[in-house]
Amino acid sequence: MSNFNFDELTQRRNTSSLKWDTIADGEVIPLWVADMDFRTAPAVTEALRRRVDSGIFGYVDVPEKYYEALISWFKRRHSWEIDRSRVIYTSGVVPAISAIIKALTVPGDGVILQTPAYNCFFSSIRNNGCRNIENPLLRVEEEEGFTFRIDFDGLETLAADPRNKLLILCNPHNPTGRVWGKAELETVRDICRRHDVRVVSDEIHCELTHAGYSYVPYGVIDEEAIVCCSPSKAFNTAGLQIANIVCPDSKTQARVDRAINDNEVCDVNPFGVEGLMAAYNQGAEWLDALKVYLDDNYAVLRRVVADRLPGWKMCNSESTYLAWVDVSATGMTGDDMERYLLENAKVRVSSGSIYGSPGYIRINYACPRRRLEEALLRIGNL
């Protein structure tokens, strides 16, 4: 039995919440953008309260204990030894990736994506004048549902093109929920090294693996990679705007640091610093309880899709709180389904078109179970 109340029906409407307040209709249940309807770990809240009590919110000098918290967490939880001297802090993983692309490419270069892919990757590449080079994941049908694997032959071909300079890896993968295994990551490393393609790994969802699956830090596999991480997804602290880039060498670090400064994302706020330290130093018990709750929510969603929603087929997720669902058998595109559910069920999901897969939708099930069940009842009654 958990000591934390994930069943609490938190009220987020009229709190300037992107998830809840961008649609005026108060009846809509939002299951779209990737933040959770749970209060963060009590240790994080307490740390932020202490910082508020100071009453002064000037520029922050990131302390050494910040790095100690980061390094200790990844060593304890994931056996990844992060070099303190190779860490750059910034305001988020998306700004980090944009700065890395700026640092390591020139306009016109190709950046490889494994699609479907997180929508901000596409814009980060375009905004730096580079070309989106898609290497679609291969769908694999299973007895129930389906999964995805990397098209290594396709990756080899694209990496061999000297115009393609970077690969953005999502580990674990959003939106499919795949947790890449050690052998898969080693193959990615070997292909990219053969062709002098640098790998940038977004590991923002690394803590949210389902039971029976383990995240492998790409930095353990490939010492030449640039890795981006943040506690924001696991601890529901995206608004605190804090993330870290782990660079492999001083030359790469200097280039990335220059781009971070050029893009003006070199300063962070004191709440992000305090939140990260509290999460990584005292948040493990809360996170472990959260993962159990999310696994149970995922089971509820799978059951309803199987029993009540003909034409829907779920990807067999291994991580995240984001379900990837094929709705093409209904005759609708993802855009059609997003509109249909919003108008008729008053439930908001995300169309797969923004991730490069128009026949799918993405559902965020990180909410109190009663709220999820109500949303699914509305959908199932259509």
Q: Where residue 382 falls among pLDDT bands split at 50, 70, 90?
A: confident
Is the pLDDT reported for residue 1 higher than 60? no
In this structure, the strands spanning 198-202 and 164-170 are parallel
Stretch 312-341: mean pLDDT, rounded?
98
User: CA separation (Å) from 368 to 5, 172, 205, 233, 315?
Assistant: 9, 24, 20, 16, 22
Point out the least confidently predicted range of 1-5, 85-89, 139-143.
1-5
**Whole-model pTM?**
0.96
Is the pLDDT reported for residue 2 higher than 80? no
Helix (H) or strand (E) holding 199: strand 198-202
Convert the pLDDT of each residue in 276-311 to its tens digit.
999 999 999 999 999 999 999 999 999 999 999 999
Q: What is the mean pLDDT of the chain?
A: 97
Joined tokens for residue 251: 């030359």
Stretch 77-103: mean pLDDT, rounded?
98
In this structure, the strands spanning 110-113 and 164-170 are parallel
Joined tokens for residue 178: 């795949």
Convert the pLDDT of each residue in 222-262 to its tens digit.
999 999 999 999 999 999 999 999 999 999 999 999 999 99
175: CB partners within 8 A, 6+ apart: 116, 118, 320, 322, 324, 352, 355, 360, 362
Stretch 118-140: mean pLDDT, rounded?
98
Report how far residue 325's alpha carbon sits from residue 338's, in angstroms, rounded to the nearest whole number: 12
Convert the pLDDT of each residue in 255-283 to its tens digit.
999 999 999 999 999 999 999 999 999 99
